[in-house]
Each structure stands twice: as structure tokens, then as C-alpha cells.
Structure 1
């Protein structure tokens, strides 16, 4: 990711600085650093500190807590894409003896496995990993609290299992796999398992007095895949750009998009907070944000991306409780997206398009519902209702096919759209999951399931 810090307007930069200044002051954080990326470019960084002349910069390391989980999820998705595992397989197939039974890899990624939220006492975030040398010590005696797949229940031990899975399948440590397969390809040179100078120290601030206490910084051992990493605002902006667009050296755009898809419904009172596969998904200010929050004693972290706006932001603080870094990062995204809306790419015509494909476009009717089918820039098809709400989906041609298309999203995700031709080669209708789309509504002689009344259309007789 390249840097172009001059790109934002002065008013936007001041609004960003004002937001983090308020957060650091009201949150009573020893320091806070933030950064914004737009379309893969680092466009702004800022910081505030309680010590004059010692403000951190975008290359100062902070502990990022559960943002680590997103890195672990990327490693698991890589194993899936290589065919080394299936997300719907039980974890026990690859990691026997854990005692979690039929829990699947996908359920662990999406926190729907029903596992407990934390490991048994003592508090794992403030004690060394050496007190939990085995997976059994992380899971405890009561490994499952809820039936698998039924509800979202956040689980730190679940990501310990995923880290162990990565290490087992690769045959080397989770740390080594992470360095080799994600950190190095994405040039995240300041992201590491152990802190590297310059880095912030973690602090607790007294809730009723402006005094501080240093927090311990423990090596979490087996719990590392759930929250161990240290990183910088600049590195996390690079990672944010990857989460928006993918990178074939690490994970394809399609697989990253899959991570951003909700895995299970949220709690009934929390419909605007969802979880995909290692990614949180929230609705804030009318836009969808993907990313993750993180905390460990002494540190708070937030990373959010608006894929539609092409804007991502990071906020990091070195305090146990204080500024809501997740909210701050989301606000930074909103400030840039609203003050400087994304300028769309110029319209350009498609490359050469065959007549057989062009004749599929235009109006189609499912019964009396009117739809439009159009070619889109990536060579796919988009079906959408012409009035009111309805079932909108995009389609991509099956490999080696021009007459068979697979649904990418919406109601018809995964469904097959098939072009049905007459004996003379002209298009009769579209078959979409058994629904027949015809050129006219209930036209006699067309492929209308159930046929058409022989007397045809009529008005009201009086």
C-alpha cells in the first residue's frame, strides 16, 4: 500500500484529528494513534499523547487483541482453498481428541460452535500461556455450552483450536505459517507475535482518579491465535485494504468476500451486528463496515472498512478501558466517506460481446413480475426487478459455458440460470431454479408452467 498523505482536504484532516483528540481526552488514554486508507493508499495518520513530544506514529506497535482472529481465519481459508480441508468437516477429522465432537471448522470460524467464551481460570489475558500447556487446559471440562450451529456465541478457545488446526495441517507452528503466508506477502513488516521497538506500553487508568498502573504483557501460548499479535496503524491499514479487495498471493477476492458473509443470525436485539468467518459485520450510519475489534489488558484496537466507499480506518490505544477504538475507527471511515465521497470510475463500454449473449438482455417476466437482465462490466449478468422490491441477483457463467450461469448473491445465490432455446436456436425462456422467465407475461405458446387460459387477457365485465 502506497502513502499519499496529501490527498485529503484540510477540512477532512482537521475533522479526523478532532475525532481522535476527543477520544483520547474523554477516554483518558495515555496515547492513541489512528490512520485511514482509501483505495489502498494511506491518506491520513494522526496521534495524541499524554506526554508532550512523545506522540506515537503509524509505525509504533500496539497490541491488537482479537483482530488477531481475522489473521487466523485467513490462514484457515487458505487451507480450504488449497483443498486441504473442508469448512463443513468436523474439526476432529484433522485434530482428533479435542472433545468438541461434531463441531465444524466453519462453526468455529463464525463463533457458532457453542463453545465457552473463555478458558478456565485464571484469566488467560493476564497470565502466561505456560499455565495452559495443552488444549485440554484451554477448553476445560465443559467444552460446549450450546448446540453447534444454533446461535452466535463468541469463543476465544474456539480460535485456539483453529490455530492448532493450522499448525497441524501445515506441520509447523501457527506463528511460522502466519509469517510466511500472510505477513511477508502483504509486507506487514511491523506485525509480530512479540513486541518490537518502538512499541507502546500497556496501562490501566484508575476509573475514579487520573492515575495509571502498568499492565503485564504475557505470551499467551496456545491462546495466541485468539489475541497475541502486535501491529501498527500503517500495517493494519494495509490489512484493511486486503480485506476489501483480496490479494491472490494470500487469498482471492472471492474467498475474502466469503469471509464477509454472515455465518449465523445475531441475537434478536442486535440485528445490526453480525459475524462472518473471522470478520465482524456492522451497520453504522447507513453503511456496512467489516473488520474486527480487539482488546487485551493495556490495549484497545479497532479496524473497520467500508468496501463500498473504499475507505478503511484503524484506531489503537494503550489503555485497558477507555476510548471506544472500534467506534472511533468507524467514525473515521464515516468522516472521509461523507466529506470526500468516492469518485466513480469513468464509464467504459464492454469489450466485444457476442450476439448470443446480447440477446439475453432486456425485460423478462416471471409470471407478471417484470425483471430486467443486463450485462455488467465483469462479463456477468445482473437480474433485478423493474419496480418495487424483489429478488435481485448477479450471475457468472459456469466454466466453459455460455448458456449456464451460477448465482453469486441474493435470493438466487448458488442457483443455476439456464438458457433454454427452441429448435431454431432462438431463446425460448430462462430457467432459474425451476422458475420460467419469458419475454412476455403469460404469452400463449410460451413456456408458462400450468399453461395460459385460452380466452386470454380480459377486462372487467359489467
Structure 2
């Protein structure tokens, strides 16, 4: 029997409608729109509005605020993948004389550069970008509040600097590079730097009365790479599918996996709340699942894009109010509703078409001292080494042509795994960053560092 990605079940769709209806009513949002993505495509769009008969659809633009940062991060990672820069490079190497040159590109992406959270007054989100025509106007006289690399401190100026870096390396305006390298390849025709009809207006809702005040929609100028974009649930649904799966025309799945890997030092409060920041993507733990994406806000607008890789479900939520609904909570609930009501159906198991006998020889149990591990080969050509107890250090390993592997996660991330063979070609042990794994605990026939007591294993009475 085969299964296909069908539309959501009626009960699931009603639960999604109910969730955004509660959010719009209790959050007192003039309008709220949402989308759900499953299997790489949008399977549901919904909206609630205070204006009868004018429910916005998936083509109506809203301002998405800091979700813009993820687009900027994608541009920077493209430069890295092309070999035009390294994430460990100090900014000064590529963009000199900013006053922030000691911060590395990776630190700027991960908000660990030490730069201030905001630009100098006046409040940049409600004033014209013409007031800050140069990077010096954005960074101010004392750009750094903390030593670079020491702590996570969210920085809007940091992403302004990254936008300027893109412009310098590409020799073109940030907006033009974004359109050419990301928006057009992914078909995001309704994602723009300035609003294009149909679009929502931004509103402030009085905290103690049911009245509203229009918010200004300023052109952010230099600050654009930190929060300028307008988009739709339709476009952001496609962007979410890209972030989860990759697209070789823009970024590979491996690079996107790197982007969502936590890269900033954790603050105590962030650890407690299950929050971490990668390279332009936030990671949060909610309802027992890991959600990756970004939130955004500007006066008059709230936004969230988040996805669960394990569930293959993403959600987008946009609202046109300064405060009220909690977009991440709503989006997380939409993911949960679909994931729990209609769990992901796994692909059928199929045997591997071909396997290298030398790799197959390494599969099975191994021991690090007395700790029992198993090495398993996966259908995607990788190896997984994990403790049999389910607790302790484990990782996936990517193969190389020379027969070695590189760890991808946790303690073993970046560490090299190799099989050490005897003169006759048989495997003596596995070497993982100098740790020796043998077929038996402290195998006397293997090259165990420090040697093995010649009298072997014994009971307490024979010591």
C-alpha cells in the first residue's frame, strides 16, 4: 500500500481555524493570517479579521521584521560556501574601518559579537532610515557592550553590518543581491523591501480600550537587512520548506543544518527556556519537540516562521498589530496540532542498494573501555555511533573518500573517526579523536593505550 501527501483532515483543519480564531480574538489583532506546510508544500491557509468580508489570503503582505535576518544570513552563508569568506574571519578583513572589525562573521550571525542591541536614538523602527545614512550612524561611538564571543546578546546593528558585508563582497545593493540570489530562485515574488498591494496596514491597539492607532511604516535604510522585508504566508510557506530541506540553487541541506545548530554561548535564562541561536535561526523546545525558525516584529506587525524537522511540519503566523497575539506560541500550536492529529508517515524501509564491504565490516558493537556502543550504517551513507544504554556521547558521522568519517553532533562534532588495521588488513580498533574502540571490553588482542593486564579479567576473590 502506498500513501500520498493528502490535504489535512477536516477535524485538523477545524482545530487550526479554532486556534487562530482564539488568537485573533484574545490578542485583539485587527487581522491574523497563518499557513501550515507539510511535506514541503503548503497544505492550509487561514485568516481572521475584524473587517467582515475582507479576510486576507495568502497573497496579502505583512511586515515580517526580524525574519529578514534569516534572509540576510542565507546571503552570508552563500558567500562562505562559494569560498569568498570564512565564518571565522574578522569583519575587518572584508569590511574595514567600521569600528566593529574585531567581531567575526560567525559572531555577528549568532548575535555573540558583543554589539549593542539597538542603534543610537532616535528609535530606529519608527524613524526614517535617512537619519542613519552610514554604518557609523548605526553603530554609534561605542558599538560594543560586551567582549566579542563571550555571550549571546541580540543585535540589530550586527545584521546591518552583515548586510553591508554582502554589499561589499558582491558589489551590489543588499536588496538586489537578495532578489537575484534568494527571492527569484525560490519563487518568492511577494517578498519585497517596500509594501506592494494588497498589503495590511500596521496598527497599535490600545492596551485598555478597543481602539486603534495607525503605526508609521518607515523605510529603514541602512537597517534594512535587520528587519525591512514585507512578505505573505504564501511566500513564507515556501521559504519554510526551503529552510527545512534546502535547495541547491540557494543553499544545501548541509549548510541549512549548520545554520540551525546553536552557535552562540547560552545564557542561563535561555537554557532554562529551551532557547538557542544558530546562524540566523532560532531554536526553541516546545511541547517535547524542537522548533527552528525566527520571530519578527516592527511597530504595527508581529510575525513568526517555525518548523519541526522531525515532524516535517512548518507554520507561519502574521498579524498587523504592535502587541497582543504571541506569534511563536500560536505557530508552535499549529505545528503541534498537525503533528499530533496526523503524525508523519515514515517512508517504507528499503535495503541499501549497495554497501562497501569495508564499511559493513565495521558495523555492530564496539567498546570504549567498558562502555558499550554500536556502530550502525544508515541508508544515506552515514554512520551512527551511539551508546547501547541510550545515554552518553553519540553522533552521526559523514564519510570521506579516504575511508574516515567526521562527527556531526555533540561531543564528537568535527572529530575524525577511522578504522586502524593490522598488517594483515583486519580491523584492530576504531580511533575517534584518540579514543580507542575495540570489539571486546579492553580487548587484549587490540592496541589499547596503556596495555591490558596480562592476567585478564578476574573475580574479587582472585585479585
TM-score w.r.t. length of structure 2:
0.97
Tell me the equivalent position of 1:125: 125
Tell me whether 1:176 sits opposite 2:176 in the alignment.
yes
- Matching residue of 1:249: 249
SS at match of 1:383: strand
Partner residue in 1 for 2:295: 293
Contact 2:59 2:233 survives alignment (8 Å): yes
Please point out which of 310, 322, 330 is paired with 2:324: 322
Is this contact kept in 2: 1:66–1:292, CA < 8 A? yes
- Alignment partner, residue 339 of structure 2: 337
Residue matched to 1:312: 314
Equivalent position of 2:413 in the other structure: 413
Q: CA–CA distance in 1 between the matches of 2:238 and 2:197?
A: 20
Instruction: Report deviation, 1:6.
Output: 6.0
Confirm or deny: 8 A CA contact 2:149 2:265 kept in the other structure.
Answer: no
Q: Distance in 1 between matches of 2:6 and 2:253?
A: 29
SS in 2 for 1:184: helix
How many angstroms apart in 2 are the aligned matches of 1:318 and 1:5? 32
- Larger deviation, residues 97-106 vs 221-230: 97-106
Q: Distance in 2 between matches of 1:6 and 1:439?
A: 47
The aligned residue for residue 24 of structure 1 is 24
Q: For 2:427 and 2:295, how far apart are their aligned partners in 1?
A: 51
Structure 1 residue aligned with 2:7: 7
TM-score by structure 1 length? 0.97
**Runs of 4+ in structure 1 over 6 Å off:** none
1:396 deviates by 1.7
Shift of 1:445: 2.6
Asked if 1 retains the 8 angstrom alpha-carbon contact of 2:219 and 2:228, the reply is yes
CA deviations 1:178-233 (Å, max 9, x no partner) are: 00000000000110011111110111111111111111111100000000000000
After TM superposition, the structure 1 stretch with the greater mean CA deviation from structure 2, 404-413 or 28-37, is: 404-413
Offset of 1:388 from its aligned partner? Answer: 4.4
SS at match of 1:270: helix
Give the Cα separation in 1 of the matches to 2:124 and 2:304: 21
**Number of aligned residues:** 457
Separation in structure 1 between the aligned mates of residue 155 and residue 405 of structure 2, nearest angstrom: 38
CA contact (8 A) 2:428 2:438 kept: yes
Provide the alpha-carbon RMSD of the alignment: 1.2
Per the TM alignment, residue 421 of structure 1 is displaced from its structure 2 partner at its CA by 1.1
Q: Is the 8 A contact 1:65 1:294 kept in 2?
A: yes
| Runs of 5+ consecutive residues of structure 1 not aligned to the other structure | none
Residue 201 of structure 1 pairs with residue 212 of structure 2: no
Alignment check: 8 A CA contact 1:5 1:44 kept:
no
Q: CA deviation at 1:5?
A: 9.9
8 Å Cα contact 2:23-2:330 kept in structure 1: yes
Question: SS in structure 1 opposite 2:244?
Answer: helix
Q: Quick check: 1:5–1:42 contact (8 Å CA) kept in 2?
A: no
Residue of structure 2 in register with 1:56 after alignment: 56
8 A Cα contact 1:5 1:43, kept in partner: no
Deviation of the 1:266 alpha carbon: 2.5
- Equivalent residues in 2 for 1:239-278 (5 A)? 239-271=239-271, 272-278=274-280
Inter-partner Cα distance in structure 1 for 2:345 and 2:214: 46
Instruction: State whether residues 35 and 42 of structure 1, in contact with CA within 8 Å, keep that contact through their aligned partners in structure 2.
Output: yes
How many Å apart are 1:367 and its aligned residue? 0.9
* Residue 417 to residue 14, structure 1, CA distance change in 2 (3 Å): same
Distance (whole Å) between structure 2 residues aligned to residue 388 and residue 325 of structure 1: 35
**Tell me, what secondary structure is at the counterpart of 1:353?**
coil
Give 1:444 deviation, angstroms: 2.0
Match in the other structure for 1:359: 361
Distance 1:270 1:76 in 2: 25
SS across alignment from 1:185: helix
- Aligned counterpart, 1:392: 394
1:104-123 residue pairs with structure 2 within 5 A? 104-123=104-123
Does 16-25 or 414-423 show the bigger shift?
Answer: 414-423
